[in-house]
A and B are shown apart, each in its own frame.
Chain A
Amino acid sequence: MLRYAVKRIGLAVVILFTVMLAMYAMVFLVPGDPASLALGPRATPELKALLRERMGLDQPVLSQIWHFFASAATGDLGYDVWSKRPVLDQILEFFPNTLILGALALGWALVAGVALGCLAVVWRGRMIDRLLGVLSVSLISVPAFVVAIYALLVFAVWLRWLPAIGAGTPGDLVSQAKAVILPAFALGVGWVGYIARLVRASMLEVMGENHIRTARAFGLPESRIVLRYALRIAIIPTIAILAVGLGSVLSSAVFVETVFGRPGIGTLITGAVQKRNYPVVMGTVLFMTAFYLFIVTAADLLIARLDPRVRDVFRG
């Protein structure tokens, strides 16, 4: 287990390193000076020189890269010359909002998806199964931000049940909860279908295994076989997917956050892109990549713990 863990974490670090290098290289491969690009037509030579110095652009390339890596390793993602705040501070301020949104979206998707998947398995081969199949595919393919806009129009503008904009009043849990319902709904819709399909497929595979026949031969009720004997095994690949899902959910949260004007990583980075604010954009992408790698690695290790078969393979 330990050797597996070390290997898995080592790989994640190497990948992160490669990504950082690529991101940094990208800025240098592009013709033009980041400082003048960033300042746009307002640039005066003095302003440019000042900015270049602030961004460390007057140093030799290699020393810049070294500086970039060294500071990233200590958690310093650079300094935002516009808001005059360290990049990491801003990310940490907005990140919890996005994380809550993503977790709630995946949470409701998991509950609904597992339920639909189990339902399809119990009724396998029947009409309900086929209808659920079509429903799942449809949910998967509908873009989250279209769902977001439609949900906003229906529930916030027409019905006025829920707030349209923002993340609620700070400190007021009820208003914060109300504000997160629609975004989490929109963000999770696609995952409901995805998880339902995954659970169904993985359950059907498990249901064909010998031990399910054993359980049937002892007359266990079908509901118990599905929920205790099959779901436990079938849920394992779902957890792996959920981890990857959290990464991609946080990324697609960009659109949903923008639609609902909800402060978060998405609104932070889109604002920065529109201002061509390099340090914030690069810092956010790096941070999110690192977070994604962390989650995926953690999930791999969790699965190794959950499945006694995998666990022992790595123990030996």
Chain B
Amino acid sequence: MSSGADRSLLRSLVSDPMGALGLVLVLLFLAMALFAPWLAPADPVKLDVTQKFQPPSLTHWAGTDQLGRDLLSRIIYGARTAVSIAVTSVGLAGLIGLLLGMIAGYGPRWLDAILVLLFDSLSSLPMILFALAVITVIGPGTSTLILVVVIVSIPGYARLIRAQTLGLSGADFIQAERAMGAGPVRVLLRHLLPNVVGPLVILLSMDIPVVIMLEAGLSYLNLGVRPPTPSWGNILYDGYTSLRSAPYMVLIAGLPLVLSTLGFTFLGEGLRDALDPKLRHGVPR
């Protein structure tokens, strides 16, 4: 049954041109990340100062940077950096958010009140400034990035799950289950979990481009992924410093960032429309 549902989901996703485009872009991007070592024509960190600032050519399709590194290879490996950070942090945040949200929605009221205040406080933090504060304390790097994203994203997920849990815990089948003496863990895992995961997945997929942007942005400020690890943000920064002499660098480095965020957003929209047909319904007049 679930594979049938998946197939129809896929079909309705593909029948929507934007959703299909999103899926293609995301798959391309994931393939780039996954098969980087096979796809990249050169070593992304290999210096060759004699080849610096080469504009795009047949040997270097995307040109080279100020240290003579092959840009195309750096961009392909940059996808790998972006994907690993985005997936790890969003996945981790989703897991913690799921847990906290279910506890808040199903647990005692005092605990709920504390957690809600906590979520409200966390989401009042300006994300980028908070990221900068954490970086000041523990220093820049991949793990700092992941930590920041996890902390800042938890409230969104937890709130969603909490609302869903609250809505469902009044439902007849949950009440019946409780009346029959099912413990909270059983109710949460067997009955609530399958019902709340769908919306969470949509939200997670829509947050991936946000994380990709944050990673690129902070790396651009030299506060994210440390060089020489290739990141789209680092490449943009390198391009920015030589904007006048080598404008092709920023033009090329910005492109994958734009395309991947577009792809994820279109895919997220398509997923939401396919999973939640209520939102799609007609045009009222």
Contact = CB atoms under 8 A, between A and B. Distances in A.
| Direct contact, A vs B (beta carbon within 8 Å) | yes
Contacts, number: 140
Interface stretch (A19-27, A59-67, A73-81): A19-27
A286 to B, nearest CB: 9
Nearest to A280: B136
Contacts of B265: 137-138, 140-141
Contacts of B112: none
A204 B254 contact: no
Interface in B18-66: 18
Size category of the binding interface on chain B: 35 or more
A285 B236 contact: no
Contacts of A134: 18
A153 B240 CA distance: 9
A214 to B, nearest CB: 14
B137 A14 contact: no
Given A19-B125, A141-B262, A149 B240 contact: yes
> Counting chain A CB atoms within 10 Å of each CB, which of B132, B240, B251, B261 scores highest?
B132
A111 interface: no
Contact of B221 (A141, A204, A255): A255
Nearest to A146: B254
Contacts of B121: 15, 18-19, 22
B278 interface: no
A291 B239 CA distance: 34
B284 interface: yes
B1 interface: no
Interface stretch (A82-90, A243-251, A300-308): A243-251
A152 interface: yes
Nearest to A133: B18
A143 B257 contact: yes
Interface stretch (B89-97, B156-164, B179-187, B209-217): B209-217
Q: Which of B18, B125, B265 has the most CB of A within 10 A?
A: B125
B283 A125 contact: yes
Contact of A137 (B18, B128, B223): B18
A293 interface: yes
Contacts of B77: none
Given A273-B223, A282-B133, A143 B258 contact: yes
Interface string A121-135: 000110000000010
B221 A14 contact: no
B243 A284 contact: no
Interface residues of A, number: 58
A238 interface: no
B197 interface: no
B240 A259 contact: yes
B117 A15 contact: yes
A152 B283 CA distance: 40
Interface in A117-167: 124-125, 134, 137-138, 140-143, 145-146, 149-150, 152-153, 157-158
A278 interface: yes
Nearest to A125: B283
Interface in B134-178: 134-138
Contacts of B67: none
B244 interface: yes
A19 B258 contact: no
A106 B41 CA distance: 43
A258 B221 contact: yes
A277 B133 CA distance: 10
B129 interface: yes
B264 interface: yes
The A interface is mostly helix, strand or loop, or mixed, namely helix
A272 interface: yes
A90 to B, nearest CB: 15
A179 interface: no
B258 A285 contact: no
Contacts of B118: 18
A219 interface: no
A31 B223 CA distance: 20
Interface string A240-277: 00000001101110110011000000000110111011
A281 B124 contact: no
A192 interface: no
Contacts of B132: 254, 269-270, 273, 281, 285
Given A143-B213, A272-B136, A285-B129, A292 B124 contact: yes
A23 B126 CA distance: 13
Contacts of B107: none
Nearest to B217: A255
Contact of B124 (A15, A26, A152): A15
Contacts of B250: 149-150, 153
Given A23-B133, A205-B284, A292-B126, 19 more contacts: A137-B266, A140-B265, A142-B262, A143-B217, A146-B258, A150-B250, A207-B284, A247-B126, A254-B217, A254-B221, A255-B220, A270-B132, A270-B221, A273-B223, A274-B223, A276-B136, A277-B136, A284-B129, A285-B129
20 contacts: A11-B120, A14-B117, A26-B137, A138-B262, A141-B264, A143-B261, A145-B220, A149-B240, A149-B254, A153-B247, A248-B127, A251-B126, A254-B128, A258-B221, A269-B129, A274-B223, A277-B136, A285-B125, A292-B126, A293-B124
Interface of B: 18, 117-118, 120-121, 124-130, 132-138, 209, 213, 216-217, 220-223, 236, 239-240, 243-244, 247, 250-251, 254, 257-258, 261-262, 264-266, 269, 283-285
